[in-house]
Amino acid sequence: MLSIARKRPLIVASSSSRLFKHSSRPLSSSSSSSSSSSSSSSSYTLRYGFIGLGRMGLPMAKNLRNKLPNPDSPLHIFDVSQSPINDLIASAPNIHSHDSVSKVARNSDVIITMLPAPQHVKSVYAEIAKELAKNKLDPPRQKVFIDSSTIDVTTSIQTNSLLKSLPTTSSTGHYFFDAPVSGGVVGATNATLTFMIGGLPPLQQQEKHENQQQQSTTTTTIDDPLTQIYSSIVKPTLSTMGKTLVPCGGPGLGLAAKLANNYLLALTNIATAESFQLARALGLDLNLYSQIVATATGRSWSSDVNNPVPGILPNSPASRDYTNGFGLTLMKKDLGLALQAARDTNLPLLLGDDALRVYSQVEQDPYCASRDMSVIYKYIQDHQK
């Protein structure tokens, strides 16, 4: 597996013009630093697009804009709400809003999407595909799409296939990577997200590249176009928004990692809420119990970072009336996607259906429905007889 922390020999991607054959100017994730006029004229400034400026997308887009290798790179944006658009435009220069996703795709080379659910991803990419397929005699510049939405694996793989089938100046079609995230709104704001990335060559091939880099004492040239695009464009793009990049393998495998992880999170969130309620009912001081859990076998992200008890962690959603966190409804959606993935693979999950019933039940409470998922702790206490 590729590692972003370990030092390695320099990877030199072959000329980007080989990948984007429509242009005599090679694409680069940064501007040319050469003072020669010939070098300057041959560089190409990547254009970026971001679709979906919700609670996660807006801070991600801000970090993307502020940390791009080339400050001259424009950022083209779309959202159904005007408020985040105004917020983003006020935060940085060279941002251009559009009234449709097709216009964002038309004006961008690298497009990131961060959308709520599978139906939104299908709708957005159907509109983009229609735009890109307009002129087969003069096909568009080859583009790189990165979808960080949490959706089902099947929809993601179908979207990948759709984009590869569209006309472009390259025989390989457009590139699509599924790159869901972990880290929540705090991680999105602080650019510390973890990206789980699919749409790459098989993991064995990645490991082969890694071994070659480790054993080489000279510069390594990447010949595989997909690996090259990941190294030269996808990796530096995602690094503006996250701290950890985890290549997971082929199409859909980034989402496979995300859904498996969020299944675990859905269960530990319930268990943590019940555990702290049990400790309270038995008379334990909850600050003390929190310290015990932090050094014991029950420790988890739900107890360490997203503790459900108000006042235990000053910056947790629980200490803000369960606001500005990972919504209960979104957790329910992700759990449903994980359970569907299990059914698709004929895998029986012993606790999944019961957990989904818990989230559905808590969601019926008007107070809880719009709150962070840790609000289950309050729900249990409010319904104690």
Q: How many CB atoms lie within 10 A of CB 126?
A: 13
Q: Give mean pLDDT, residues 66-70.
A: 90
Q: Which residue has the higher pLDDT, 338 or 219?
A: 338
Domains of the chain and CATH, by start: 11-249 (3.40.50.720), 256-382 (1.10.1040.10)
At 364 the pLDDT is 98
At 31 the pLDDT is 39
Tell me how far apart the alpha carbons of residues 285 and 291 are, in angstroms, rounded to a whole number: 10
At 186 the pLDDT is 83
Interacting residues of 23 by C-beta distance below 8 A, sequence separation 6+: 17, 44, 141
119: helix, strand or coil? helix
Q: Give mean pLDDT, residues 349-368.
A: 98
The yes-or-no verdict on residue 111 having pLDDT over 80 is yes
The yes-or-no verdict on residue 19 having pLDDT over 50 is no
Q: Of 34-38, 267-271, 328-332, which range is least confident?
A: 34-38
Residues 271, 276, 277, 281, CA torsion sign: positive
Tell me how far apart the alpha carbons of residues 165 and 154 are, in angstroms, rounded to a whole number: 17
Q: Which residue has the higher pLDDT, 206 or 62?
A: 62
The yes-or-no verdict on residue 363 having pLDDT over 50 is yes
At 4 the pLDDT is 35
Q: How many CA atoms lie within 13 A of 118 on its CB side?
A: 15
Q: Which of 62, 143, 235, 258 is catalytic?
A: 258
223 pLDDT band, cuts 50/70/90, is: low
Question: With contact defined as beta carbons under 8 Å apart, do 221 and 273 qualify?
Answer: no
Q: Give mean pLDDT, residues 202-221.
A: 57
List, for residues 328-355, the tens digit of each pLDDT value: 999 999 999 999 999 999 999 999 999 9
Tell me how far apart the alpha carbons of residues 112 and 121 are, in angstroms, rounded to a whole number: 12
List, for residues 71-83, the tens digit of each pLDDT value: 899 999 999 999 9
The yes-or-no verdict on residue 311 having pLDDT over 90 is yes
Judge whether 258 counts as a catalytic residue.
yes
